[in-house]
Each structure stands twice: as C-alpha cells, then as structure tokens.
Structure 1
Amino acid sequence: MSAVIFSLRSAPEGDRLMLPLVRRTRDPHLGVWALPGGWLDPDEDLDSAASRTLAETTALMPSYLEQLYTFGAVDRSPTRVVSIVYWALLRSDLVDAQRSSAGAPENVEWFDADDLPPLAFDHNHIADYALDRLRNKVGYSRIAAGLLPDEFTLTELREVYEAVLGRRLDPSNFRRLLEGTDELVPTERFRTGKHRPARLYRRNRDT
C-alpha cells in the first residue's frame, strides 16, 4: 500500500504543490526515494491502513484521503507486489505542526510535485497519475479548499488553484465563478494586512 500526499509549501517564487518522499532503508532500491507506504494488516480496512502507514512513515495525518487506483504491472517490482494506492491532501497550516509534534522521520523530505527525482519501482508513474487526478478534480469540485485552513480569503483560494494547475487565473473571473455558487460561506471576519481587509470564507460542508 502506498500514498501520494499533496500539500502547499512556501518557496521563493510562491507557494508550490509538494509531496513527501521517503528514502528507502532496505533493498530493493536501497537509498532511493519512494512514496510512503507499508503493508496491510489482516485485521484493518484499507482506509485505516492508508492513514496508519502515512502516520508511521511521514508523521502526517491528511485532511482528505481517497483511494486512487490499484497498480499491478508485471514488472513493477521483483515479486510483482500489487499496490493499492491512496492520494491525500494536507492543509498547509498543519504540516509543520504535525511533523514537530509527532517527531518527523529523518528519511522524509518534501519535493516539488512537478520536479520529482527518479523514484523506486513505478512510483514516478503513480505520482504523475495522482497529480493528473488532482488537477482534473479541481476543475469540477472545490477540493482545492482542502489544502487551506478552515477559513481563507478568495485570493488565498485562487492561489491554491494556481499552484495545483500550474498556471495563473484571472482574479475577477475566479471571484465571479465562486460567488455565484453555494460552495463557500462568507464569514463576518476579515484578513487584515498591507492591503484592504479581505473577507474570510469557509467551505460549505452541506454541499
């Protein structure tokens, strides 16, 4: 069982969509980066196993978790292990807090989702598949909000979409698109800073 977990991480050029990789400590592919994963215990269901293996290998607990696909190509591993793969989202404000409180493993590092090193087994293919799934899904759902705290501005949400899609979006069109739906609920709070106060929104969990 493996997992691809996406989150936003700060970079000099702005927030980037990134994912954690684990350096393998045994053969095959000793010392090579790989997706976090582990074995399914006989007495646990798939969702529980995915959450457990992520916590054990990365000290992270995702805010969104979904089964992605089952990979079982003949040449994917020396013994042809079939892998059930999940993909997950982690709120940007929880990454450092979770890793510091749980004790981050030393063999885990974050990498740009669009610039991964050569990975063990077929994990480059799996990561690309998960990234395509995420980019397709943001086109018809509000899943990108799962990368943000409970409350956020429309600008912050637009920047998440831009990081996921890898391209700039027109601010006015983006605002009109979202304000015409019931996916977001405006709050009475505002974000203050260098610019004029911006209203905070939250996801409508009833939709």
Structure 2
Amino acid sequence: MTAAKFSRLTDYPRPSVAVDIAVLTVVGDALCVVVQRDETGAPALPGRFIRDRHTVTETVHEVVQLKLGLSPDHIHPHLLRVFDDPDRDPRGWTISIAHAVALPAAQLTDVVGELQPVTDTGALTSGEALLYDHEQIIAAATDSLRRRYEDRPDPDNLLIPPYTLTELRELHEAILGRRLMRDSFNRRVQPLLAPQVDAAGSPVTRAAGGRPARLFAKGSAPTATFGWKLPSKDEQ
C-alpha cells in the first residue's frame, strides 16, 4: 500500500487575518462608535493585521494600545464573530476576527479617532460609508450591546456611579433606541440597585433642576436580570 502523501501548509492559499474592534459609547442621547480614517479620509474601524507568531489576544491589545492610544489593562473586548466574505476587502482575501467593547465617554477623551453616532443598522448617521464590511461589524456590536441592556441595568458600566434613575433610564434609551416607560423602568431596576446613603444612613440625593433625586449604584447581585423586555413608552 502506498503511503498517503501529505501536503505542506504552504501549498494552500492563505488569507490575511485581521482584528477589528468596534468601540461603543454613549454621548448625550446618541450611541456612538470610534472610527479612524485612512489616507483618503474614508472612515473605518480601528484594526490591525495579525503579525507573524502573534495571537489574536495579543493583536487585540495592540489595536487598543497602538491604534487607539488606550491602556489595555482594564479594557477587555469580547469576540463578536468572524467576518469572512472573500470579497469583503478590495485589497485582497482577508478575514476579520471582530471584537467589541463599550466604554464610558469619559475614558475616550484622548482616544485616537472620532466618536461618530450610529444608526440601528450600524451605519454612521452622518451618511458616510464605512470601508469594507465595517457597517456589518458595528451592527453586530450594537445588537450585542442592546441584548445586554435589555437584560440588566448598565451591565457595561457606562455610567460612573452614583447616578439617578433618570440618568440610568436615559442611558438605556440611548442604547436601545427607544423611549422607556419611566415608572415601569424604575420599578424594574430599583430592586437591582443599591441606594446610596450617608454616614447617618440618610439617602444621598442630587438636585437635577427639580426636586432632589436619589442616587444609586450597582447592587450586591450585579448579574441579576430584569426578567423580561423593558416596556417602551409607546406600549402604554
């Protein structure tokens, strides 16, 4: 019997492999993403091709540190999925191992790039077309973010505590893209939060144009869920 012939790996065509990261945040009432521009001025997500003998995790850290100018120490992007359409990049055959991370806007004041508002479909609200298939990556990132914010109060810690219930609701509205019923939202989230009290045990409040509002932070069970979809204002 003739021994099977084994081909060398170099006998097969190989795509270039990149890591692209959708960095999401909320500015005012808008969900935004960090974009950078190529030499022609076209917007794209920050990314980097994987170097020889580098891991995906190492490349993620390189994008965060070298491309975005952020410290990777407390930033942990999560994997979205692999984007592998052979025609996704006109420069040649590439695949992207796409990641996403949500950060408070205050942590992005010195980021290398621009904060651009995005639509439900992952497009820039400015109407500018993103390079490659980056709209699809942003859409996947925003879908993932919205699923988390339907389930728990500020799971990605975009608000710096303590905060009011109004501030928390407005954050969820910006991410979910719809108005929420105030009273129902408050009833749903309060059991999952820790009311802030002073040394005497009195509620800590903040004046916000009207009567003082109580302040809250994450509760003792930060993974507790709402239990069902948050009710929209138009569902009254």
Q: What is the CA-CA distance between 1:38 and the residue it aligns to?
A: 1.2
CA distance in 2, matches of 1:4, 1:90: 11
CA distance in 2, matches of 1:171, 1:21: 33
Q: What is the CA-CA distance between 1:134 and the residue it aligns to?
A: 1.5
So what's the TM-score if we normalise by structure 1?
0.80
Do structure 1's residue 37 and structure 2's residue 47 form an aligned pair? yes
Do structure 1's residue 160 and structure 2's residue 160 form an aligned pair? no
Do structure 1's residue 83 and structure 2's residue 96 form an aligned pair? yes
* SS of equivalent to 1:110: strand
The structure with the largest alpha-carbon Rg is 2
Residue aligning to 1:50? 60
Further displaced range: 192-201 or 163-172: 192-201
Matched-pair identity in %? 28
Gaps of 5+ in 2: 1-18, 198-203, 224-236
Are the structure 2 counterparts of residues 190 and 59 from structure 1 closer, same or farther at C-alpha, using a change threshold of 3 Å? Answer: farther
* SS of equivalent to 2:151: coil
Q: Return the letter of the residue paired with 1:46.
A: V
Q: 1:133 aligned to 128, 144, 161, which one?
A: 144
CA distance in 1, matches of 2:21, 2:27: 18
CA distance in 1, matches of 2:37, 2:60: 18
Residue aligning to 1:190? 205
Q: Return the letter of the residue paired with 1:19.
A: V
Residue aligning to 2:188? 177
* SS of equivalent to 1:121: coil
Are the structure 2 counterparts of residues 145 and 74 from structure 1 closer, same or farther at C-alpha, using a change threshold of 3 Å? Answer: closer
Are the structure 2 counterparts of residues 84 and 197 from structure 1 closer, same or farther at C-alpha, using a change threshold of 3 Å? Answer: same
Are the structure 2 counterparts of residues 75 and 160 from structure 1 closer, same or farther at C-alpha, using a change threshold of 3 Å? Answer: same
CA distance in 2, matches of 1:143, 1:64: 16
Residue aligning to 1:65? 77
Question: RMSD of aligned C-alpha atoms?
Answer: 2.3
Residue aligning to 1:18? 32
Q: What is the CA-CA distance between 1:80 and the residue it aligns to?
A: 1.8
Are the structure 2 counterparts of residues 55 and 173 from structure 1 closer, same or farther at C-alpha, using a change threshold of 3 Å? Answer: same
For residues 37-72 of structure 1, the C-alpha deviation after alignment (integer angstroms, 9 at most, x for no partner) is 113345655345324313322334575621111111
C-alpha contact 2:102 2:156 (8 A) present in aligned 1:
no
Gaps of 5+ in 1: none
CA distance in 2, matches of 1:45, 1:149: 33
CA distance in 2, matches of 1:130, 1:153: 27
**Matched pairs, number:** 189
Q: Return the letter of the residue paired with 2:22.
A: V
Q: What is the CA-CA distance between 1:160 and the residue it aligns to?
A: 0.6
Residue aligning to 2:218? 203
Q: 1:112 aligned to 111, 114, 117, which one?
A: 117
Are the structure 2 counterparts of residues 146 and 48 from structure 1 closer, same or farther at C-alpha, using a change threshold of 3 Å? Answer: farther
CA distance in 1, matches of 2:76, 2:159: 11
